[in-house]
Structure 1
């Protein structure tokens, strides 16, 4: 399973949307989307996404 798909599944299981992550981190939803799809970089957003994956035991 690729990284993007694993993140999306973990987000669904956690009941968290890209918009909620964006609000939490005070960034635009598009920034979260770009990082999620590997088209942008942000250590802060990547860390938040990784924490979601770790919470649900998903491996990248």
Structure 2
């Protein structure tokens, strides 16, 4: 699960890096990117929460 969580966070990070450049060229597409980023980060959080070991 850590691998999957890391990959989701990596993709979200890459999208965040290109978001501003896309926003200056095409704000509508940037809005769509924002939705995708939000979804990926939510999925990564949920997987990480499922993978935690109770202490």
TM bracket, shorter-chain basis: 0.3 to 0.5
Say which one has the larger Rg: 2
Question: Please, what TM-score do these two structures have when normalized by structure 1?
Answer: 0.36
Richer in helix (by share): 2
